A and B are shown apart, each in its own frame.
Chain A
Amino acid sequence: MPETVKEPEVALRLVSAQRTGEERSDPSEDAPERTLVRNARSGDMDAFAALVERRTPGLVVFLRRMLGDVEDARDVAQLTFVKVWQNLDKYDPAWAFSTWLYRIAGNLAIDALRSRGSRSRTETESFRLVRGGPDEGGAHAALARDEVRRVFEACSTVLSEKQKLVFVLREFEERENGEIAEILSCRESTVRNHLFQARRLLRDEIGRRFPEYVPRKSALPSESEGE
């Protein structure tokens, strides 16, 4: 039975990962990145520049999802990297660099959202959801993504900064609850609570502001059909 053969191997790998602390690192953080972080910590400016280059695309996308504006996202990303440079001596290599980076970026994004205050960037124009299909791709998919993003920007104004941060990290960045808890310096139960509240508020807001985007259940095949 292949399962029984594989089980001890998987268990062994998990144990060794826990011992070496690898469990905390995310998959995008490979050996060259760890070397870059180590060199940057010892003052190597080139290594730091290479680190910035590697981490910029993901960070800007994350911040854009948080802030809803690509220019704001770039500004906050730049500030994040400056803070990273200033505080690299405080970084503990036992933890994933990505977690530490996103903690700084998340805090700065929350500050930016708070300072933005009442001047909401919600767009009042009407939206038209581009229905995706099997033929979806290229420009069509990009258009759909763009519209969905604008709906999210409009609806997410009902969320608190932390609820939004948790929702973005979980749903868009696809991070695990444990990692989000590390980023927010809180407990996993708090993360789950934020996520639950964020989903509930967003469901209500979508239904209230954009009911046309939610298909009526009666028009759908019954659940038993799906089963």
Chain B
Amino acid sequence: MTVSKPPKPPAVQPVCPERARTVRLVRARETDDLSREDRRLLRDHLSACGGCRETAVSLDPTLLFSPMAGPAGDAAAGEGRKMAANVLAVLEARRIDRRMGRPRRFVPNHPLLKAAALLLVGAGLAGLFSLHPWGSEDKTAARVAAATTGRAVPAGASAPFIETVDGPGVKVYQFAADGPGQPAVVFVVDRNADL
């Protein structure tokens, strides 16, 4: 008599004891409430537990990328040294100016400061121009011309006081000052002078 073996029961995949915590962390991650430590915890567990990873990815497909997370790790040996050598070679080849180590400029470089400086320079120039007696030479010349030729004195200019001394060939033209603080002008015209 042969006894047949009973059929094997279907294999039941054991549920990871960390499943509940994984689901909780994934839910918290959706609202960005995970601390750095919790994120590391989740990442480490998902990289070790295939069942929990499937659950996590079904809840949030972006967790598919969790194996990419983490520190640099297996960078090629000597990559840093090679990069340093390359960078130094580039700096040397291009003779790139080394600005560090220099004292900071006393005047900071800022657009507003530049604008203020321009404004000050402009205001200074305007002040200088306003102090210069533009046009007064023309006015004086017109008064002299009017006095010697007998033409009418231009408007705004007072006629000079003319005094004849030492005979008919010598005249003194005295112009009053244009205003307070302005100098009076005196011309002596000697027609007999031997130049």
Write the residues of chain A forming the contact surface with B, with a CB cutoff of 8 angstroms.
Answer: 40-43, 45, 49-50, 52-58, 60-61, 65, 74, 77-78, 81-82, 85-89, 129, 131-134, 136, 141, 144-145, 148-149, 151-152, 171-172, 174, 176-177, 192, 195-196, 199, 202-203, 206-207, 213-217, 220-221, 223, 225-227
Question: Which B residues touch A177, using CB under 8 A?
Answer: 32
Write the residues of chain B forming the contact surface with A, with a CB cutoff of 8 angstroms.
Answer: 15, 19-20, 22-23, 32, 36, 39-40, 43, 47-50, 53-55, 57-58, 60-62, 64-73, 75, 79-81, 83-88, 90-91, 96-102, 104
What is the CB-to-nearest-CB distance from B24 to chain A, in angstroms, rounded to a whole number?
8
Q: Can you list 12 contacts pairing A with B, beta carbon distance less than 8 Å?
A: A49-B84, A60-B83, A61-B72, A132-B47, A134-B49, A136-B50, A196-B32, A213-B57, A214-B57, A220-B55, A226-B19, A227-B20
Assuming the contacts A53-B84, A148-B65, asked whether A40 and B58 have C-beta atoms less than 8 A apart, the reply is no
Q: Are A171 and B65 in contact (CB under 8 A)?
A: yes
A129 to B66, CA, bound (A): 13
Using CB atoms, name the residue of chain A closest to B81. A53
What is the CB-to-nearest-CB distance from B21 to chain A, in angstroms, rounded to a whole number?
9
B104 touches which of A42, A85, A89, A221 (Cβ 8 Å) = A89
What is the CB-to-nearest-CB distance from A73 to chain B, in angstroms, rounded to a whole number?
11
Q: Are A171 and B62 in contact (CB under 8 A)?
A: yes
A226 to B62, CA, bound (A): 20
Question: Which A residues touch B68, using CB under 8 A?
Answer: 65, 145, 148-149, 152, 171-172
